[in-house]
Structure 1
Amino acid sequence: MPKGEGKVVAQNRKASHDYIIVEAIEAGIVLQGTEIKSIRNSRINLKDGFVRIRNGEAYLSNVHISPYEQGNIFNHDPLRTRKLLLRKKQIQKLQVETKNAGMTIIPLKVYIKDGYAKVLIGLAKGKKDYDKRESLKRKDQEREIQRVLRNK
């Protein structure tokens, strides 16, 4: 865990398999009403999420935050687009980087830090199928080495 990171609520496990993470940036999320309660209950799914930059602002799209059970009429749309809180220079840098072919911005994990929900977003490049196979092969070899060392 990076320094100062709080309780991890959700993690995008497929991100490291499908993408090569070039850089990671912490961002705040603008939430409505009961969304923070759902996040604290780990009712968030980052699987298909992505970040889009429009009009000089970053937006988190396609991230599912389940409605809060006791929320009744105050609940929100689970898949709504949420604004991310980043500095202007960070947004401009991300915008320039995503102009390059194959670069995208994805959410890596959501955690609670000092009472606020934060999202760790990653500037990522998509892996090809042969890259994925190579990564799996390397992981299996490392696991086998650890197994042999443990049994000695």
Structure 2
Amino acid sequence: MAAKKKDQERYREIRNAKAGRSYFIGERFEAGIKLTGTEIKSIRGGKGQLNDAFVRIDKGDIPTLYHSHIPEYEFGNRENHNPTRPRVLLLHKKELHRIKHEMEAGGQALIPLRLYFKGGLLKVEVALCKGKNLFDKREDVKKKDQMREAERAISFRQG
């Protein structure tokens, strides 16, 4: 008898689709996130969104995730959470000082790239990013088109 496959829906990660298009992604960090029980249940169900999210370091050196959307848990009661509330991130003090220094040095933002589970705990991958201009985005589209054409030519010769 074959072994049972794990439920893939449960172990899915949530990615920020706009991050690669809108930013040059720099150094990455892994952070914990402070959530309520209904938020975790909703994320385990594969729901959530990071597309417009960003991280700001508030007073007292507390990194906070803003504009992430985790929908209310379907089977929750009146104690359900607010879907767009700010959420505190948990970073090591050295990492936090390094990030703060880089952001103050100029032109960088801390953007969440993905939410994923690691050993039963939810983690957020954040990165120091610089914004792309319109011409940078056009260059990326040109490169993708050239790569696609080259792959087609290679597959045509092989086939």
Q: TM-score higher than 0.5 here? A: yes
Q: Which has the higher strand share?
A: 1
Deviation at 1:100, TM superposition (A): 3.0
Paired letter, 2:42 = S
Shift >6 Å, 4+ stretches:
none
Aligned to 1:15: 19
Aligned to 2:79: 74
User: Root-mean-square deviation (CA), in Å?
Assistant: 1.3
Instruction: Give the TM-score of the pair, scaled to structure 2.
Output: 0.88
The higher relative CO (CA closer than 8 Å, separation ≥ 6) is in 1
Structure 1 or 2, whichever has the larger Rg, is 2
Aligned to 1:129: 134
- Measured in 2, the distance between the counterparts of 1:56 and 1:89 equals 12
2:147 pairs with 1:139: no
Paired-residue identity, %: 46
Deviation at 1:102, TM superposition (A): 2.1
- Measured in 2, the distance between the counterparts of 1:99 and 1:42 equals 35
Paired letter, 1:133 = R
Instruction: Give the TM-score of the pair, scaled to structure 1.
Output: 0.92
CA contact (8 A) 1:8 1:109 kept: no
- Measured in 1, the distance between the counterparts of 2:117 and 2:98 equals 25
Deviation at 1:113, TM superposition (A): 1.1
2:158 pairs with 1:150: no
Q: Number of residues paired by the alignment?
A: 147
2:57 pairs with 1:53: yes
Paired letter, 2:46 = S
CA contact (8 A) 1:8 1:110 kept: no
Note the residue ranges of structure 2 that are not aligned, 5 or more in a row.
1-10
Deviation at 1:46, TM superposition (A): 0.2
